[in-house]
Amino acid sequence: MALISLDDLRAAQKRIAGVAVRTPLLPCPWAETEHRTLHLKPEMLQPTGAFKIRGAYNRLAALTPEERARGVVAQSSGNHAQAVAYAARALGIKAVIVMPDTSPAVKVENTRSFGAEVILVRMHERDDVPGELAAEHGYVWVPPYDDPWIIAGQGTVGLEIAEDATALDLDLRTVLVPVSGGGLISGTAAALKLTMPGVRVVGVEPELAGDAAESFRTGERAVWPFELTHRTIADGLRTNTLGLLPWEHVQAYVDDIITVTEAEIRSTVAVLARRGRLVAEPSGAVATAAYLHHADRLPQGRSVAAVVSGGNLDPALLSELLSQ
């Protein structure tokens, strides 16, 4: 499978301009140490509360008029769902979203609020039902990560990091990126390696859903049972394997993948709220958790950037995590 090119990334950047927010690199003096500094990429500032709007809009905006008329179907635990629904409404396209019945209520309701039809299914049915609906109704299937248009859209995160690090004259050595199905880290790593080849890209995922870390370690794409990946509080990172195209990008561009514990994720959500004044969902907090708790796995260097991928969490969960 062909890797995305710098031209693909630049085209996506132009296509999503004015729709996705160009989020800043925020300095975090509260996390500075003798050996390194931290900057955060706060993707919870996107209109749908997560980075997914980048890939979803890039994919839908590239549909032909005939494809737009057919409508789209997508599967997601929440953030891709909201992004596709939002992009579809903006472009006047019918959207049907298949979501696990264990998805956070706030993500289900947000998806419906953007005008999409939501179909709740059991977790193990999530990835099969969209294909059935596409075959029955002619919908265009918009996958959450295993798609070059999606990967290129998510890769605009990496382009912005590179541009801002250069503008700020940062000695950027490492970029930490959450890993689920692999769309975000694939596009971000490609963008960084094609524009700042000296930067190390490190993926981060929950220890309880560590299929990508195992894949990276063994060189073979691992598949975990859903009953294992579903244990983590990071609901957006419960995908049980990397996509085929993302796996090709990970092998080509990613330097390492590390895992963080549930306790580390929980405490980092609270730290980001209290010290960083940022509301991050557990999935969005894993990269920062790696910086705070696994500095020994990071190369020496003054500047580290971490992607905070989203902030769509139930207020009750935020309250619980802040009280711990």
Residues 6+ apart with CB under 8 A from 109: none
C-alpha to C-alpha distance for 191 and 184, rounded to whole angstroms: 11
52 contacts 82 by C-beta, under 8 angstroms: yes
Instruction: Classify residue 151 by its DSSP letter.
Output: H
Residue 321 in tokens: 């995590």
Q: Which of 291, 279, 284, 292 is nearest to 318 (CA)?
A: 279
Residue 292 in tokens: 């705070």
C-alpha to C-alpha distance for 88 and 211, rounded to whole angstroms: 31
* Owner of token pair 């490492």: 174
Query: Cα separations (Å) of 77 from 36, 72, 126, 192, 198?
Result: 35, 17, 9, 27, 34
Q: Which of 94, 186, 309, 323 is catalytic?
A: 309
C-alpha to C-alpha distance for 175 and 240, rounded to whole angstroms: 23
The residues facing 27 across adjacent strands are 39
Told to judge if 193 belongs to the known catalytic residues of this protein, a careful annotator would answer no
Told to judge if 52 belongs to the known catalytic residues of this protein, a careful annotator would answer yes
Largest CA distance in the chain: 59
Instruction: Classify residue 3 by its DSSP letter.
Output: P
Q: Which of 211, 225, 200, 209 is nearest to 283 (CA)?
A: 209
* Complete DSSP assignment for 18-30: TTB-----EE-GG
Q: In what order do the strands lie in the sheet with 95-100?
A: 117-121, 95-100, 72-75, 140-141
C-alpha to C-alpha distance for 92 and 2, rounded to whole angstroms: 31
**Which residues are tagged catalytic?**
52, 309
